[in-house]
Structure 1
C-alpha cells in the first residue's frame, strides 16, 4: 500500500513538473495553440459570414514591421482580411498556419492586415520570423473605430471593395476552406459602381 502511494506521489510530481516547465518557459501558449489547431483542422469552427452590410471604417493608423506608418484608408476599394491577434493568445496561434495558407493562395486578390496587439512588439516580430510567416503584420498607431470590436482575440473582419463588413468572427476559425475562398473570389471579382 505504501509502495502504491509513493509511486502515485512520484507520478504526480513528474506531471506537475512537466506542466511547470512548460508554463515557466512560456511554451504553454504554443502547446495549447497546437491542441486547438487540431480542433481547427476538423473544420467544425467556421467563420461567421454576415449579410448585415455594416460599414467598415478606414479612419485609423497602423505601422508595418519595418516602421512605416500607414493610413488604413489605403485599403479602400480592396478586399481586406483583418485579423487582430497576439503571441500570448493560444487561439490566435492555433489559426495562424491556416491563415498563412489562405494568404499564400489568395494574396494576389486580397489584402491581408494582421494586426498584432502585443505590448512588446519584438515578441510579435520574433514569433513571425520563427514561424516563417510572410503575411503583412502591423501594429496599431491610433485608436480603433468603434465598428471593430476587439474585446476578445482573435477577431477577424473581411471587408469588401465597397467598405462593407462581409464576415466578422470573434474567436478562432478555419478560414482556408473552399466556401471561404469562394467568398474571397466572389468579392475580389465584384466591380465597384457608384
Structure 2
C-alpha cells in the first residue's frame, strides 16, 4: 500500500490560523499583532476621537469650559498620587491650571497599543507648559516592564503609574479610556475605547481651553 506524501495543502486552514495565533500568544507578540490590525482600522478615520464642538448652552468650547467652571469645585482626581518611570512621586492635583489629556492604558491591551502612536503625534504637536499629557499605565508588572515598552516604542510623552487608590472619577468599563480635563479640574470630554486623537478637532479643543 503506497504511503501518502505529506503536503501543507492537506492541512485545514483553521489549523494553520490556530497555530499562528498560538505561536504569537506564546511569544507575547499577539498584543502587537492585534494592535497593528486595529491601527489600520484607526487609519480609516472611522474611529476619530469625539470631542464636543460646544458644551450645553455655550457658543464655543472655550466659553463652555469657562461657564462650567465658574463655580469653584473639587478637581477631578484630587488627592491621587502617581509615580513617573523614574519612580518619582507626582501629585495629579499639581497639574491643576493646565489642560490635562489623561489616557488610561496597559501594555497588554491591543487597542491601547494601536492608538498610542497617534496620541504621541498629538503630544508632539500641542504639548506645552499649558497642556499636560498623563499616560497612566495600569500594568501590574511594575515600572520596569512599562519603561521597556515605552523605550522600545520611542515614545516621549510622560508616562505614569498609580501610587494611590484610583479616583472614582476615572473609573471606566473599558480600556483604553481617555479624559480631557479643564484647567479648573473639570472633566469636559471622555472617550471609552480606542480612537484617533491626532486630528485638528482634538488639537483645537485642547488649545481652546488654554488660559490666555
TM-score greater than 0.5 by the shorter chain = yes
Provide the rounded CA distance (Å) in 2 between the counterparts of 1:6 and 1:33.
Answer: 29
Change (3 A) 1:61 1:99: same
Which residue does the alignment assign to 1:116?
A: 137
| Cα distance in structure 2, aligned partners of 1:42 and 1:157 | 23
Q: Does 1:179 align with 2:181?
A: no
Select which of 143, 151, 172 maps to 1:129. 151
- The secondary structure found in structure 1 opposite 2:103 is strand
Q: Distance in 2 between matches of 1:91 and 1:125?
A: 19
Number of the residue aligned with 2:85: 65
CA distance in 2, matches of 1:146, 1:87: 22
In the alignment, is the contact (CA less than 8 A) between 1:159 and 1:165 conserved in 2? Answer: yes
Three-state SS of the structure 2 residue aligned to 1:40 is: helix
Alignment deviations for residues 92-114 of structure 1 (CA, whole Å, 9 cap, x no partner): 00000000000111111410000
Q: Where in structure 2 are there 5+ consecutive unaligned residues?
A: 57-67, 70-74
Q: Distance in 2 between matches of 1:87 and 1:167?
A: 24
Separation in 2, partners of 1:151, 1:179: 25
Partner residue of 2:172 out of 147, 150, 173: 150
Q: TM-score of the superposition, structure 2-length normalised?
A: 0.81
Of residues 161-170 and 51-60 in structure 1, the stretch that sits farther from structure 2 once superposed is 51-60
Give the paired residue count: 189
Q: Which residue of structure 2 aligns with residue 86 of structure 1?
A: 106
Give how far 1:14 is off: 3.7
Taking structure 1 as the reference length, what is the TM-score of the superposition?
Answer: 0.88
Unaligned runs of 5+ residues in structure 1 are: none
- Give distance in 1, aligned partners of 2:191 and 2:180: 9
> Max radius of gyration: which structure?
2
